[in-house]
Structure 1
Amino acid sequence: MFCALASAVCFGTASVLQAVAARTTAPGTGSGVDPRLLLRVLTQWRYLLGLALDGVGFVLELVALRSLPIYAVGAALAATLAVTAVVAAPVLGTRLSRAEWGAVGVVCGGLALLGLSSGEEGHLRGGPELRIAVLVFALAVLASGALAGRLPDRARAAVLGLGSGFGFGVVEVAVRLIDDFAPTALLTNPATYALLIGGGAAFLLLTTAFQRGSVTTATAGMVIGETVGPALVGVAWLGDRTREGLAPLAVTGFALAVAGALALARFGEAPVDEDGGPHPTGEDEAAGRRGGAARESQGDSGRESRGDFGRES
């Protein structure tokens, strides 16, 4: 459990460091992707430190998945949003409302309940059918990106976010299906390819969702996809269980952790304003949308309101 929580701390802190690096490298940039800016951000120590933390977090996640039920690790990873929100407050100048601070507390409370009630990982390793099914599902997640491109903006962000969550969930399940790390065994195990395809698809779909839709909607879909589905697979096919008589406590803790994470979904990418200013609060966002609508009705074809951070530049 310590490794799972430490992984969430690494991922959440890395998001903030990378956001700071992006701000200092290209403040006030316009739309489009400039490869020169991408290369420039890769020279920033904060961004590189964030990448290193991502790597450490991934290793800690793998260790946790080899020792804990999938439902406990998934809920702990959802706490990444709580870490991002807390770290972003002093570093990026974001303002958390009372409700959001309450959501951070709910996430922590849910994880505490899971820590008390979760048992050891299940000892079932799944048969060849489950390994093949996970690989097929990973390919389906990758293909979903092309189908989601035809959907309206809001629906597209939700589908892409959910697909990325399923991809991360594939990684969680595939780790449990790899029981022999000999080179020959890895190459002949469908779960190995499912892990690589699922992880790659997850990052691709989530990046696309952030570029073309709402950060909040995409992140909410991701949280649901990477927690609920893998948890069910762990319980139904891999033998994950709770401590004797504490199943209701585990279910409550899981639900609280996921619900709290969903309430913090706007911190999924730790977004900042184009001028480097603080992230708007919910009231600021609503006011920005009203102002943008008023300008549009007057024939103003300028840029969108700063408050509508759902569309990334």
Structure 2
Amino acid sequence: MLCALGSALCFGTASVLQALAARATAPGSGSGVDVALLWRAVRQWRYAAGLALDGLGFVLQVVALRTLPIYTVGAALASSLAVTAVVASRLLAVRLSRVEWTAVAVVCGGLATLALASGREGDEGGPPALGWAMLGTACAVLALGAAVGRLPDRSRALALGLGSGFGFGVVEVSVRLIDGVDFANPALYALLVGGGAGFLLLTSALQRGSVTTATAGMVVGETVGPALVGVVWLGDRTREGLGWLAVLGFTVAVAGALALARFGEAPAPAEAGAEAAGQAPPPDPAA
């Protein structure tokens, strides 16, 4: 559980750095899968530092997934929005409302409940076709990103956010299907494609779409589906008689994260300064 929470801390802090870099990058081609946009963002030190934190967070995530059920790790990763909110309130002087502070507390309470109710990870390997299904899903995420570039802003942001969440969800499931380096295992390629697709779509969503809509879609995509796969096919269970408590904790943690969805991207420094001074931030044409 400490590794899962450490992963959320890394991802939450990284998102502040990456979002600022993404918004400072020149607009891309309009496609949801824009490699050039990602390359321009990576060349900024803030995005590179965020990627380093993401790498550390991924290592901690893998350790957690080898011990805890997917539903627990997924909820912990969604709590990275609470981390982002707190980091933004300190580093960028962003004011959190009373409701948002309450949401941070709700996320913490949900995670504490999950920690009490969670059992160990399941020991089932799933059906043989599950690895291929994950690879197919990862490829479908890339196709989705390429297809939604011409949608209206709000619909595009939701589609890209959901797609990025599915990509990260593929990573969560694939980690459980990999036992050592086996180049014949489709789950290995699913992990690589799913993670890359998730980053591509999320970068495009943050740079060009509604932050709140995109982040809400990502949270749903990376938590609900993988949790169901873990329970149905991989044998994830709760402690004896505490299934109801796990469901409650998962629901509360994800609901709290959704309430903080606007922190999927931290405000730009000028906007943060305006909010700190009690002024309305300037209009954002990309939101």
Verify same fold: TM over 0.5: yes
Q: Does 1:237 align with 2:240?
A: no
Shift of the 151–6 alpha-carbon distance from structure 1 to 2, 3 Å rule, reads: same
Paired position in structure 1 for 2:147: 147
The question of whether the paired residues in 1 share the 8 Å contact of 2:157 and 2:210 is answered with: yes
Paired position in structure 1 for 2:195: 199
CA distance in 1, matches of 2:216, 2:10: 20
Return the match for 2:263 from 267, 271, 293: 267
Paired position in structure 1 for 2:32: none
Partner AA of 2:229 in structure 1 = V
DSSP-derived class of the 1:56 partner = helix
CA distance in 1, matches of 2:233, 2:226: 10
The question of whether the paired residues in 2 share the 8 Å contact of 1:157 and 1:217 is answered with: yes
Paired position in structure 2 for 1:111: 111
CA distance in 1, matches of 2:48, 2:154: 32
Paired position in structure 2 for 1:291: none
The question of whether the paired residues in 1 share the 8 Å contact of 2:78 and 2:254 is answered with: yes
Paired position in structure 2 for 1:174: 174
DSSP-derived class of the 1:238 partner = coil
Alignment of 1:155-166 (within 5 A): 155-166=155-166
Deviation, 1:279, is 6.8
CA distance in 2, matches of 1:97, 1:154: 24
Partner AA of 1:41 in structure 2 = Q
Paired position in structure 2 for 1:53: 53
Bigger relative contact order (CA 8 A; separation at least 6)? 2
Paired position in structure 2 for 1:303: none
Partner AA of 1:248 in structure 2 = W
The question of whether the paired residues in 2 share the 8 Å contact of 1:114 and 1:254 is answered with: yes
Return the match for 1:278 from 270, 273, 277: 273
Deviations 1:163-201 (A, max 9, x none): 10000000000000112x14xxx2100101111111111
Partner AA of 2:143 in structure 1 = A
CA distance in 2, matches of 1:9, 1:222: 17
Paired position in structure 2 for 1:216: 212
The question of whether the paired residues in 2 share the 8 Å contact of 1:93 and 1:279 is answered with: no
The question of whether the paired residues in 1 share the 8 Å contact of 2:134 and 2:170 is answered with: yes
Paired position in structure 2 for 1:190: 186
Paired position in structure 2 for 1:293: none
Larger radius of gyration: 1
Q: Does 1:85 align with 2:121?
A: no
CA distance in 2, matches of 1:144, 1:39: 23
Partner AA of 2:188 in structure 1 = T
Paired position in structure 2 for 1:227: 223
Deviation, 1:227, is 0.2
Deviation, 1:30, is 8.8
Shift of the 148–117 alpha-carbon distance from structure 1 to 2, 3 Å rule, reads: same
Deviations 1:35-85 (A, max 9, x none): 99857633xxx6554332221111000000111000000000001000010
RMSD, aligned α-carbons: 2.6
Overall identity of the aligned pairs, in %: 67
Farther off after superposition, 213-222 or 123-132: 123-132
CA distance in 2, matches of 1:251, 1:178: 27
Q: Which ranges in structure 2 are unaligned for 5 or more consecutive residues?
A: 29-35
Deviation, 1:276, is 6.1
Farther off after superposition, 218-227 or 50-59: 50-59
Deviations 1:65-114 (A, max 9, x none): 11100000000000100001011101011010000000000000000000
TM-score (normalised: structure 2): 0.88
Alignment of 1:62-141 (within 5 A): 62-141=62-141
Deviations 1:195-217 (A, max 9, x none): 11111111111111122210110
TM-score (normalised: structure 1): 0.81
Paired position in structure 1 for 2:44: 41
Paired position in structure 1 for 2:31: none
CA distance in 1, matches of 2:118, 2:58: 21
Shift of the 280–263 alpha-carbon distance from structure 1 to 2, 3 Å rule, reads: farther
CA distance in 2, matches of 1:86, 1:58: 21
The question of whether the paired residues in 1 share the 8 Å contact of 2:76 and 2:111 is answered with: yes
The question of whether the paired residues in 1 share the 8 Å contact of 2:25 and 2:41 is answered with: no
Length, aligned pairs only = 278
Partner AA of 2:212 in structure 1 = T
Paired position in structure 1 for 2:251: 255
